Amino acid sequence: MTVLLVEDEANIINLVKAIFKSVDYHLVVAGSGREAVSLVASHPPDIVLLDLGLPDQDGLDVLGRIREFSSVPVIVVSAREQEREKVRAFDLGADDYITKPFGSSEFLARIRTALRHANFRHNVDVLMTQAVNIGNLLIDFEKRVVSLNGEPVHLTPIEYKIVSLMSKNIGKTLTHDYILREIWGPYENDNQALRVNMANIRRKIEKNPAQPEYIVTEVGVGYRMADF
Amino acid sequence: MTVLLVEDEANIINLVKAIFKSVDYHLVVAGSGREAVSLVASHPPDIVLLDLGLPDQDGLDVLGRIREFSSVPVIVVSAREQEREKVRAFDLGADDYITKPFGSSEFLARIRTALRHANFRHNVDVLMTQAVNIGNLLIDFEKRVVSLNGEPVHLTPIEYKIVSLMSKNIGKTLTHDYILREIWGPYENDNQALRVNMANIRRKIEKNPAQPEYIVTEVGVGYRMADF
DNA sequence: TATTTTCTTAACACAATCTTAACCTGTTTC
DNA sequence: GAAACAGGTTAAGATTGTGTTAAGAAAATA
């Protein structure tokens, strides 16, 4: 069982090490957000403990970057009690949010619970790879680049998220609601923005946007990335 | 989305009701542990919010009883901060533990997270019946795609609903009334729309629509999806 | 701050889908 | 055999859904 701790303060690192003495988890420490993301990509841990007080970037951005290509369970650890931050963490895909100071046995119990949840997820996770080919289209999740016939295609952040989401569900029809929730969060429910983005994406990746090959419309339901 | 709140104090019930005003969840209240267990068994909710301060029995016993037969997500709500109790709750299978008082948006975010976890669990179950083969017809529920001899067949939303419903009841004759209620809701009682849709479906999936092989008519009763 | 890029929103044209009605065929009832 | 009934077929019009454009707002970048 490998645990990735994203933390820069030495005393917290030591505290966690002490807690883990009793339970035989293998602990890996990342001192920065950048290091954390690349470690999750190169050596996927079983669970991530993410402290929000990082030196190089906002901890929640790190969570977002991780969630672009991995569904590893992430427990956010923070000294901040602000509700808005908690909500944002959960909606970005955090599995739990613990505020410091915390008791060691509760800490371990929450880790066990997150791992229990993750067991059910594993099936889905296997499908997550670093890159996907669809016809002449290549989506590289790790590099965060989409290219058509070898030529890189420039996509805006939202466009990339949509293409990425569709690519992770090749052949599946994704409903409007599902896409909206995944891209804009749980509150959005207006298709218009999605339609505009689809039009823009198609202009960039389809030979004939009026008769799309890659992302086809399922009228009244949603969109589907074709499987070639 | 049905939420079962296990709680006996009226002011907390009202608080939760007020919080749920904004989100269209259907709230069911159980005033005792006994009632909660029997409700989970008889009308399985999507999530359970379990208060530990119950009159008739220990809240954690209720959790244990529920876990004997159900894996519905359970969020424990408690005024008690004791770590030992939290750990016991998690190890009995609680999905989260919230201490009162709590902020409404964090509360909702934690509910969303628990439901998200449950979805993965549910998906694993669904994967069992992700697709059905009937002769040369394939109905893929997960992808929401129907294909005949490997060629995708385009169905409108209503057509797909009908084929999907019939496919989940292979060999069974479904009455007109039943199909109408399932597809159009409880008020519809005119067969005409169903007949038109059947004609359109048959034109798309049957070799000879006048002598259908897949969906056959049971005169005076309804329709039946043939089992090959 | 100025500039560029991206996002949101509204308006409109066009396309797909749904409903309804009329008419057809075949079967059952008297 | 005629009438009544059940279901099938077709097509027109209404309704709803989608694609496209563009303008202004917001955000990111220089």
Per-residue pLDDT tens digits for A25-61: 999 999 888 888 888 888 889 999 999 887 667 888 8
- CA of B10 vs C1' of D28, distance in Å? 50
pLDDT band at A123 (very low <50, low <70, confident <90, very high): very low
Q: Supply the pLDDT for residue A171.
A: 93
What confidence category does residue B120 fall into, taking pLDDT thresholds of 50, 70 and 90? low
Dihedral of CA atoms B109, B110, B112, B116 in degrees, nearest 10, equals: 140
Q: Residue B60 CA to nucleotide C13 C1', Å?
A: 61
Please check the confidence at residue B41 and state whether its pLDDT lies above 80: yes
Q: Is the CB of A156 under 7 A from strand C?
A: yes
| Confidence grade of residue B142 (pLDDT, cut at 50, 70, 90) | confident
* Residue among B83, B103, B108 minimizing CB distance to A105: B83
Judged by average pLDDT, the poorest of A113-127, B63-77, B159-173 is A113-127
pLDDT score at A120: 62
Question: What is the share, in percent, of chain B residues with pLDDT greater than 90?
Answer: 70
Q: Quick one: which of A224, A126, A111, A210 has its CA closest to A175?
A: A224
Alpha-helical regions (H) of A97-224: 104-126, 157-167, 176-184, 191-205
Residue A99 one-letter amino acid: T
Q: Which residues in chain A, range 169-208, keep a C-beta under 7 Å from any nucleic strand C atom?
A: 184, 190, 192-193, 196-197
A61-101 confidence digits (pLDDT tens): 889 888 888 889 999 999 888 898 899 899 889 999 999 88
Residue A164 pLDDT exceeds 70: yes
pLDDT at A224 over 60: yes
Confidence of residue A190 (pLDDT cuts 50, 70, 90): confident
pLDDT interval class at A5 (50, 70, 90)? very high
Query: Measuring CA to CA, which residue among B118, B164, B93 is closest to residue B1?
Result: B118
pLDDT band at A127 (very low <50, low <70, confident <90, very high): very low
Report DSSP letters for A211-225, one per residue.
S-SSEEEETTTEEEE
Mean residue pLDDT of chain B comes to 90
Is residue B125's pLDDT more than 70? no
Residues at the strand D interface (CB under 7 A)?
A 176, 191-192, 195-196, 198-200, 202-203, 209-210, 217-222; B 176, 191-192, 195-196, 198-200, 202-203, 209-210, 217-222
Cα–Cα distance for residue pair B156/B209, rounded to 1 Å: 18
Q: Any long-range contacts for B24-27 (C-beta under 8 Å, 24+ apart)?
A: B25/B1, B26/B1, B26/B2, B27/B3
- pLDDT digit string, tens, across residues B43-92: 999 999 999 988 777 889 999 999 988 989 999 999 888 999 999 999 99
> Is this structure's pTM higher than 0.75?
no
